[in-house]
């Protein structure tokens, strides 16, 4: 059992730095051999990932992108899972120089939602068509954001209904906890626990995290050990790209993944790829020397898909609609839509930059995003079945790796998309969606069709929450 003050011994900065210095552009034959291994969905070694990071040749870059697309299609099919973030409080005791929530920011409007306000926010999210929420709160324990407040908020989200809709799974993005507190959090019925390291570079970490519990690098870097020890087997990790060199962050994150796989026989369920965005009261985004260009951003997404093929990759509305559109084709498996990053923003029907954590790049309504996704040939999925049937952690991998998961996920995606089309879609989106559904069913094998067709018919006849 890990101690609560455990050091993050998995991180070896010297190995990463030496690898980045020593890895030059490789011969095309070696790159293609690595991509061939990736296409076989075997995952990549540390050195192989570093070789792809050093890749610059345009022709080989296109082959990398093609490989990422092929892997995504093979494992996840056309599915793109949808969710909405719900910020319940922006109060925080930490001093992170890049974040609007930092304790010293006098420009920020501080808000902690009451349970009645949370229910009102959830009702709006449900009426957008969402079934999955990522609940987010600043670190202000044990005051207004006490753990009891967090647990009660999760209960309120699950208890809120509107029409045919409800939230079927709450994921949680919260500050690191002790093993004992994680056990209590697990009892609330959350799906994935998510926490970002922000940067895996110790020296940079100390320069941007000045005060508060978050200033302890090892407390944060060992958080997933404590969460998984407590029984939370679905965890989500990720750096905040732009704080330090993205190449370093990818390799450090790979060390983290290998550590979790070695210790718990299961790596993270998801990786998020947030980039720094403008935030109230700080010019960090404008001054950082580590900005990630759009081309490098798309490259790192493709590399992650090839390197850890069975891990979900999450794209948020931090990014513009154009960047999101491109990223969906390179391995993204989950995305938010219609997001507000300020507490109370959904009920106000407009975001408030001075109470938001960061600026939102894609401000389109959910219906427009769903329509575009379907037009691209992807199925907007609102499924939460794996969480509720126990297909999580290593059990999910046991289904995913031999390909059996497609007989669950593809039918469930179509069933939940049918719910969206029946209950929430505009006429234009319903037309696009129904045409997409016909193409998807026609492309299924006989077994998938036998599973999916009666599920879709059941939803159209009025039944809800139909899954396998």
Taking only the tens place, the pLDDT of each residue in 70-94 is 999 998 889 999 999 999 999 999 9
* CA–CA dist 383, 409 (Å, integer): 8
User: What pLDDT does residue 8 have?
Assistant: 85
User: What pLDDT does residue 403 have?
Assistant: 62
pLDDT digits (tens, 9 = 90+) for 252-298: 999 999 999 999 999 999 999 999 999 999 999 999 999 999 999 99
User: What pLDDT does residue 402 have?
Assistant: 64
User: What pLDDT does residue 23 have?
Assistant: 79
CATH superfamily for 73-364 is Aldolase class I (3.20.20.70)
pLDDT digits (tens, 9 = 90+) for 13-35: 999 999 998 877 779 999 999 99
| Range in 103-112, 139-148, 155-164, 319-328 with the lowest mean pLDDT | 139-148
- E-strand stretches of 344-450: 379-381
Is the pLDDT confidence value at 447 over 80? yes
pLDDT digits (tens, 9 = 90+) for 176-235: 999 999 999 999 999 999 999 999 999 999 999 999 999 999 999 999 999 999 999 999
Instruction: Answer whether 267's CB lies under 8 Å from 13's CB.
Output: no
* CA–CA dist 347, 177 (Å, integer): 30
Look up residue 132 and give its two tokens: 């999955």
User: What pLDDT does residue 440 have?
Assistant: 96
Q: Where in the chain is CATH 3.20.20.70? A: 73-364
pLDDT digits (tens, 9 = 90+) for 54-68: 999 999 999 999 999
User: What pLDDT does residue 255 have?
Assistant: 98
Integer CA distances (angstroms), 268 to 192, 195, 196, 261, 373, in order: 9, 11, 12, 8, 26
Number of H helices, E strands in the chain: 21, 13
Give the pLDDT band of residue 144 (cuts 50, 70, 90). Answer: very low
Looking at every residue in the chain, the average pLDDT score rounds to: 93
Is the pLDDT confidence value at 342 over 90? yes
Q: Which of 416, 319, 337, 410 is nearest to 373 (CA)?
A: 337
pLDDT digits (tens, 9 = 90+) for 98-140: 999 999 999 999 999 999 999 999 999 999 999 999 999 989 8
Integer CA distances (angstroms), 90 to 87, 177, 257, 401, in order: 7, 18, 29, 39
Phi-psi region of 377 (alpha: psi -120 to 50; beta: other; left: phi over 0): left
User: What pLDDT does residue 404 have?
Assistant: 64
Dihedral sign for Cα atoms in the order 16, 18, 21, 25: negative
């Amino acid at each position: 059992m890990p101690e609560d003050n455990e050091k993050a011994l998995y991180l070896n900065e010297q190995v990463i730095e030496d690898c980045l210095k020593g890895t030059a552009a490789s011969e095309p034959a070696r790159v293609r051999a690595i991509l061939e291994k990736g296409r076989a969905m075997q995952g990549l070694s540390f050195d192989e990932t570093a070789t792809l990071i050093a890749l610059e040749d345009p022709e080989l870059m296109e082959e990398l992108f093609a490989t990422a697309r092929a892997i995504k299609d093979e494992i996840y099919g056309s599915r793109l899972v949808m969710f909405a973030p719900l910020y319940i409080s922006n109060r925080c005791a930490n001093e992170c120089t890049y974040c609007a929530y930092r304790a010293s920011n006098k420009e920020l409007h501080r808000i902690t939602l009451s349970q009645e306000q949370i229910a009102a926010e959830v009702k709006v999210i449900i009426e957008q068509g969402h079934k999955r929420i990522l609940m987010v709160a600043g670190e202000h324990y044990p005051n207004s954001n006490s753990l009891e407040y967090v647990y009660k908020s999760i209960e309120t989200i699950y208890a809120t209904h509107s029409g045919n809709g409800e939230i079927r799974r709450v994921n949680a993005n919260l500050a690191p906890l002790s093993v004992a507190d994680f056990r209590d959090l697990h009892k609330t019925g959350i799906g994935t626990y998510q926490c970002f390291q922000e940067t895996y570079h110790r020296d940079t970490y100390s320069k941007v995290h000045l005060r508060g519990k978050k200033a302890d690098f090892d407390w944060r870097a060992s958080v997933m050990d404590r969460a998984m020890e407590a029984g939370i087997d679905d965890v989500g990790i990720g750096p905040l790209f732009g704080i330090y060199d993205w190449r370093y962050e990818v390799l450090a994150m790979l060390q983290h993944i290998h550590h979790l796989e070695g210790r718990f026989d299961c790596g993270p369920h998801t990786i998020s790829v947030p980039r720094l965005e403008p935030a109230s009261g700080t010019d960090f985004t404008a001054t950082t020397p580590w900005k990630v260009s759009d081309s490098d951003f798309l490259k790192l997404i493709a590399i992650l898909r090839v390197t850890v093929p069975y891990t979900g990759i999450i794209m948020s509305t931090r990014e513009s609609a154009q960047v999101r559109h491109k990223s969906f084709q390179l391995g993204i498996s989950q995305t938010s839509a219609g997001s507000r990053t300020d507490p109370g923003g959904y009920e106000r029907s407009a975001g408030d930059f001075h109470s938001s954590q960061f600026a939102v790049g894609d401000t389109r309504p959910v219906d427009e995003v769903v329509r575009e996704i379907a037009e691209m040939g992807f199925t907007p999925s609102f499924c939460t079945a794996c969480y509720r049937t126990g297909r999580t952690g290593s059990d999910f991998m046991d289904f995913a790796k031999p390909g059996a998961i497609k007989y669950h996920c593809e039918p469930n995606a179509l069933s939940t998309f049918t719910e969206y089309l029946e209950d929430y879609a505009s006429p234009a989106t319903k037309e696009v969606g129904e045409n997409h559904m016909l193409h998807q069913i026609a492309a299924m094998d006989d077994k998938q069709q036998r599973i999916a067709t009666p599920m879709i018919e059941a939803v159209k006849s009025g039944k809800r929450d139909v899954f396998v």
